[in-house]
Chains A and B, each alone.
Chain A
Amino acid sequence: MKTQINVCINGLERTDEVEPRLLLIHYLREVIGLKGPHIGCETSICGACTVALNGKTVKSCALLAVQADGQDIVTVEGLATNGQLHPVQEAFWNEHGLQCGFCTPGMLMTTRELIERNPEPTDEEIRHGLEGNLCRCTGYQHIVNAVKSAAAKVGG
């Protein structure tokens, strides 16, 4: 009934037996105990569940855990290294890029990929780049500022 998967999550190798229908988000949250990625819509629209799978952002509510077998996963908990916040985290904090914080883990993961792909994004490119992540609190403006600030820091 259960299937074995081998994954690397935030740098740690894991082997687990999972039900084939278990969603990746539930695997991360309830089997691994990583509560950073959130469930906002279960339909891959809101992006609160965004994680990186082999370096590319995915909506973990729209993938099965078995689809992650053999792959490398990074969640918001894996962004900071050696107690140092990732520049994207620092930028969201400095620019007030969050209010209730529920969308934030997904926003951070998307931002990390966005500025990797486009180190000097324009406002318009940022806004289009964030289309897979909904925020109801901020009106996005401080998020856009945070992405710009993070890009400047990472690029500079």
Chain B
Amino acid sequence: METTVTKKTERLIGKPIRRREDPRLITGTATYVEDIELPGMHYAAVVRSPHPAADIKGIDTGAAEQHPGVVAVYTGKDIDHLGAVPCGISLPDLRIPHHHLLAQDRVYYVGHPVAVVVANDRYIAADAVDLVEVEYEPTDSVSEPEEALEAGAPAVHAEWPDNVAFTHHQEGGDIEKAFAEADVIVKERIVSQRLAPSAMEPRGTVASWNSGDESLTVYSSTQIPHILRTLMAGVLGLPEHKLRVIAPEVGGGFGSKCELYPEEALTAFIAMKIGKPVKWVLTRRDEFLATIHGRGHIDYYELAAKKDGTMLGLKVKIIQDVGSFHMLLTPAMPTLSVLMLPGLYRFKNVHADVVGVFTHRMATDLYRGAGRPEATHGIERMVEVLAAELGMDPVELRTKNFVPPSDFPYDTPMGVSYDSGNYAAILEKAVQTVGYSQLREEQQEARRQGRLMGIGIATYGEICAFGPSPALPTGGWESATVKIEPSGQVTVMTGVSPHGQGSQTTFSQIAADELGVDIDDIVVTHGDTSTVQHGVGTFGSRNTAVGGTALVLAIRELKEKIETYGAMLLESDDVSYAAGVCTCNKTGKTVTLGEIAMTSWTGPTYPANTQPGLVATNYWEPPNFAFPFGAHIVVSEVDRDTGEVAIQRYLAVDDCGKVINPLLVDGQVHGGVAQGLGQALYEQVVYDDTGQLVTGEYMDYALPKAAMVPTIETDRTETPSPVNPLGVKGVGEAGTIAASPAVVNSVVDALSHLGVRHIDMPLTPEKIWKLVQQGGSA
């Protein structure tokens, strides 16, 4: 795509502007948490449990404390007066174990923080970790959620011997009737394996205590600085207004930095204790051990349909691997899946049962898509299983069952209202672009030659732009402040906290168009609770749809004030503002935004009933989610001798509503697809049957490299969302949601003539080779 370097006041929404974030990032001058240096900095390092389940019989910190350079060692007893790591979700039978910042008398997963060492040098802190002697008495552990549910399994928490963390039931329509009327019922067990979000910047925190005014400054690699402040103030027992949280440059998150982690609060606690700034940054090994994992579903699907392919109803049982503790939103992951179970299809009968299960593993929580990839993978696999059962073409089957464009807004049986869409049109566009019918002919020819070629289709709908406040424990609104400085330059403060999305660019485009000023006269800031009005943060593909809308509405309010000042300066009651200039509609006389701004701040006189200054703040509560959708088609070929999958084509046709910057939308789709494809083919967090994490480094966890990802063709339809004035929906998670079923469907299709109906991810060569060798019978 040809990028535009613009300095003109032309309309910028919809243009592929190169990013305003990039100059600092390509010159090595950006400041991530680990780059922060403060005078007298100390370093914290965490002692972690090597056992998945054990009683702590004693901790000897003597040798570590005496090690030169070590300032302090803290264990569970030192922090037992502090609050627990919070879980923000409530469900009727939710069981929330008290999640201390450091283990008390027991450890519950490999990597569980047991002690923290503080030294004046990072190498000394690391040395001293090895000097802390912890006496453990290991007990039986349970790692697999279905084993944890069996009678007699080791109890993760003694008070709940059934290991059930929560249950959830939701239904719509009449499922019994649907199944009674069905000609065919297809069933499948579908696993969405545990994944490591694996932002390239590991988590880290720097904390600095000012004893004079008893205030704390915390720099953290977080997606939610304002929420983190509220939570951390609660855990530490510190007045919230004495705590300043700054999210500096943040190197990716994908949901994993939407938490209050124990180490963040511990770093703050230590800074307050020793009166010196403290830095703590995870190693990659500890990142794998102690940053939340995503997915972790075992799902049992039953799909009922008529012989002609009309889908009637869906029964699903979801087993969510919780890990040993809840993190901030853990129980909401499978309940979010439930909301998206029907996909884009119009059947009205759905029955869902969820059980969250404690296991001796790190917690699961938000990872790109957060519950929605699991649901989409499930329904899009089941549609293929049904198509195979009925001998129907999967395109025809989908098209027959889509919600039609005339039905929007469409109330689903899961109680949400899809805002807008044309599902048949986007699948048709993908089918035409990829040359579907010709590909089917090529497939026939390939099979005659003994080659294993497959065509995989996935359509998806996504619930995003989180969201109306009832859907979130944090509030689902977002904020923006727009200030015209005396010089006429514009400062935007947004409550979202982008960490790679490019929102400084997209928000600048929006502000430039709304205000009619040069984009170079706009600066977008975020991520500092002392300077930015309260905000919610960045997750759930919400930045542009919710934060961008707050920005638009703040500017619209400000424009009224600009015209009030313009009227005073032009001595007219008939003025209008556009493109940086206020014009008297009678005389044609003009006054610039700069002149208006200077007057607004410096006077000497002000319009009647009007405050000095040009600044406006908007907190926008969305009336609904937005629902992007799309169709991805994958052509793959399986090597029958090695079981390797080669992706020959990947076409992504997405509809994220109105596009602000097509370059950035493509980037989001590419990155999202790479993560979904990573799940489909390569990635898996593996704990062995003794509860040890096997995939603890990039040597063992197969994060996609450049040569493992195909070229992705992108295209779009553009259906504006009626939910917000920009018409935007969201695109951060779309690629991830669509990619795993598209890839798996292509491989199952390649093997379908061998009788293969389903394969669980990741599609490792070993797994595929065995299926080919067995002639398909899995």
Q: Mark A residues whose CB is within 8 Å of B.
A: 19, 21-22, 26, 29, 34-43, 45-46, 48, 75-77, 79-80, 85, 89, 92-96, 98-105, 108, 123-124, 126-128, 130-131, 133-144
Contacts of A130 in B (CB 8 A): 705-707
The complex places the Cα of A139 from the Cα of B395 at a distance, in Å, of: 27
- CB of A136 within 8 A of CB of B675, answer yes
B252 within 8 A of A: yes
- CB of B31 within 8 A of CB of A141, answer no
Q: Mark B residues whose CB is within 8 Å of A.
A: 3, 18-19, 21-32, 34-35, 122-123, 198-202, 249-252, 254, 281, 283-285, 499-502, 663-664, 666-667, 669-675, 697-699, 703, 705-707, 709, 711-712, 735
The complex places the Cα of A79 from the Cα of B703 at a distance, in Å, of: 28
Nearest chain-A residue to B19 (Cβ)?
Answer: A96
- The listed residue (B28, B252, B502, B671) touching A37 by CB distance below 8 A is B28
- The listed residue (B18, B200, B285) touching A46 by CB distance below 8 A is B200
A35 and B28 contact, Cβ closer than 8 Å, known pairs A99-B500, A139-B672: yes
The complex places the Cα of A143 from the Cα of B667 at a distance, in Å, of: 10
Among A93, A108, A139, chain B packs the most CB atoms within 10 A around the CB of: A139
The complex places the Cα of A47 from the Cα of B693 at a distance, in Å, of: 23
Among A26, A80, A85, A99, chain B packs the most CB atoms within 10 A around the CB of: A99
A76-B27, A101-B25, A101-B500 are known contacts; what are 20 more A-B pairs with Cβ within 8 Å? A35-B35, A38-B200, A42-B284, A48-B200, A76-B28, A96-B3, A100-B252, A101-B26, A102-B201, A102-B251, A104-B26, A126-B706, A128-B707, A133-B706, A134-B698, A136-B671, A139-B667, A139-B672, A139-B709, A141-B670
- CB of A140 within 8 A of CB of B19, answer no
Contacts of B672 in A (CB 8 A): 139
Nearest chain-A residue to B17 (Cβ)?
Answer: A96
Nearest chain-A residue to B678 (Cβ)?
Answer: A136
Nearest chain-A residue to B714 (Cβ)?
Answer: A141
Contacts of B250 in A (CB 8 A): 100
Contacts of A94 in B (CB 8 A): 3, 18
A-B contact pairs, 6 of them (CB 8 A): A35-B31, A39-B202, A85-B26, A93-B19, A134-B705, A139-B709
Contacts of A46 in B (CB 8 A): 200, 284, 698
B122 to chain A, nearest CB (A): 8
- CB of B123 within 8 A of CB of A19, answer yes
The complex places the Cα of A134 from the Cα of B201 at a distance, in Å, of: 11
- CB of A93 within 8 A of CB of B200, answer no
The complex places the Cα of A144 from the Cα of B711 at a distance, in Å, of: 9
- CB of B711 within 8 A of CB of A100, answer no
Nearest chain-B residue to A80 (Cβ)?
Answer: B27
Contacts of B675 in A (CB 8 A): 136, 139
Contacts of B666 in A (CB 8 A): 96, 141-142
B278 to chain A, nearest CB (A): 16
The complex places the Cα of A77 from the Cα of B711 at a distance, in Å, of: 31
The complex places the Cα of A36 from the Cα of B670 at a distance, in Å, of: 25
Among A46, A77, A94, A108, chain B packs the most CB atoms within 10 A around the CB of: A94
Among A35, A77, A130, chain B packs the most CB atoms within 10 A around the CB of: A35
- The listed residue (B200, B669, B712) touching A40 by CB distance below 8 A is B200
- The listed residue (B26, B201, B284, B285) touching A108 by CB distance below 8 A is B26
- CB of B3 within 8 A of CB of A141, answer no
A36 and B200 contact, Cβ closer than 8 Å, known pairs A123-B711, A140-B706, A144-B706: no
B679 to chain A, nearest CB (A): 13
Nearest chain-A residue to B201 (Cβ)?
Answer: A102
B60 to chain A, nearest CB (A): 26
B194 to chain A, nearest CB (A): 17
- CB of B283 within 8 A of CB of A42, answer yes
A101 and B251 contact, Cβ closer than 8 Å, known pairs A41-B698, A46-B284: yes
The complex places the Cα of A136 from the Cα of B671 at a distance, in Å, of: 7
Contacts of B3 in A (CB 8 A): 94-96
- CB of A43 within 8 A of CB of B18, answer no
